[in-house]
């Protein structure tokens, strides 16, 4: 079976690619790592204008979605351009809040109030599910709100602890505050949490795919320019084989990603398909980072090279919202 995007989806990807190429995302990412969020939030606004966040918000709350396939398209481009910020966490929070408002039990008014703001790009929201993500939330220091889901409770907090050191300085982690407003409590939280984590894993898998393609494209361009013994390095058989292996891994992940998105759109849940896409795309991106580092040689280790912004994301994204071991176990589960 072939999973191909239609003309409208391909045009959406091209438009996002063109917009982000012109936006100088490496500069925004470096500023974000230094604690200056203004360039990144300007990107955030442009993504919102393109409808990216609205894809995860139900139409009843001024959104366009949920549209998992289009989300996968958008987040592939976000990964390709290393866009900073809690993009995945915000759309996952929208998925969580959307499910909670379907049957709010009389206490979903405050949850519903966030959805139009997310769709319009007026709110950045981080999401922490300690059982899956550990005690930290991404970019909790700058988010308008942090949602913490523990057991059968969803809590809203704006406070957080200090930012912790990270292997990827653009991914700023902090502990959410322990106080806050309870948005929902009860059995329905478990179903909403499960759906939100599937959306987060799907979006992260898409980021991994885009990240891997960016690393491969930049490495191919580099080995074509770099010469040794009077010929381009890219003409060496060993280099060709390494790049071919990287391409095959990424191309194998692509249909799994879109198959998972289609399954989520059709059934409203796709734990096995999304887990398969996540582990495959994550491992492919990690392999692409190793290939890029090796074939760039010593220059690949330098922080000044923009390539480092992509290389340092590979492992954190591979492990975010489901480590390879967790995803493999989910695929094998009945």
Calpha distance 89→196 (Å, rounded):
9
CB under 8 A, 24+ apart: contacts of 148-152: 148/176, 148/180, 149/96, 149/189, 149/193, 149/196, 151/189, 152/185, 152/186, 152/187, 152/189, 152/190
Nearest residue to 125 (alpha-carbon basis) of 159, 94, 82, 168:
94
**Which ranges of 120-236 would DSSP assign to H, the alpha helix?**
130-133, 188-225
Calpha distance 294→320 (Å, rounded):
24
**What count of other Cβ atoms lies within 10 Å of the Cβ of residue 244?**
10
pLDDT digits (tens, 9 = 90+) for 18-41: 999 999 999 999 999 999 999 999
pLDDT digits (tens, 9 = 90+) for 107-128: 568 889 999 999 999 999 999 9
pTM for the predicted model, two decimal places: 0.96
Average pLDDT of the segment spanning 256-265: 97
More reliable by pLDDT, 135 or 103: 135
pLDDT of residue 133: 87
Beta bridge partner(s), residue 147? 127, 156
């Amino acid at each position: 079976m072939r999973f191909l995007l239609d003309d409208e989806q391909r045009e959406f990807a091209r438009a996002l690619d063109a917009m982000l190429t012109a936006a100088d995302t490496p500069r925004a990412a470096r500023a974000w790592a230094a604690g200056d969020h203004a360039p990144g939030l300007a990107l955030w606004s442009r993504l919102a204008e393109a409808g990216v966040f609205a894809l995860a918000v139900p139409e009843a709350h001024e959104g366009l979605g949920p549209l998992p396939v289009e989300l996968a398209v958008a987040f592939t481009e976000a990964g390709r351009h290393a866009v900073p910020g809690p993009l995945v966490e915000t759309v996952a929070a929208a998925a969580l809040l959307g499910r909670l408002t379907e049957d709010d039990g009389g206490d979903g008014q405050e949850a519903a109030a966030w959805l139009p703001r997310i769709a319009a790009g007026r709110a950045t929201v981080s999401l922490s599910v300690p059982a899956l993500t550990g005690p930290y939330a991404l970019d909790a220091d700058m988010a308008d709100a942090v949602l913490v889901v523990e057991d059968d409770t969803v809590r809203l907090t704006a406070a957080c602890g200090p930012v912790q050191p990270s292997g990827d300085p653009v991914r700023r982690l902090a502990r959410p505050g322990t106080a806050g407003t309870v948005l929902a409590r009860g059995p329905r939280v478990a179903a909403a949490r499960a759906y939100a984590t599937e959306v987060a894993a799907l979006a992260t898998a898409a980021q991994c795919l885009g990240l891997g393609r960016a690393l491969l494209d930049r490495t191919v361009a580099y080995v074509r320019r770099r010469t040794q013994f009077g010929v381009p390095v890219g003409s060496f058989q060993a280099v060709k084989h390494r790049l071919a292996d990287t391409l095959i891994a990424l191309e194998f992940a692509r249909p799994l990603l879109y198959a998972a998105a289609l399954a989520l759109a059709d059934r409203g849940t796709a734990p096995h398909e999304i887990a398969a896409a996540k582990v495959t795309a994550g491992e492919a991106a990690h392999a692409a980072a190793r290939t890029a580092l090796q074939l760039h040689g010593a220059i690949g280790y330098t922080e000044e090279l923009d390539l480092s912004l992509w290389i340092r994301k590979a492992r954190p994204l591979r492990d975010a919202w489901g480590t390879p071991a967790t995803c493999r176990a989910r695929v094998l589960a009945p």
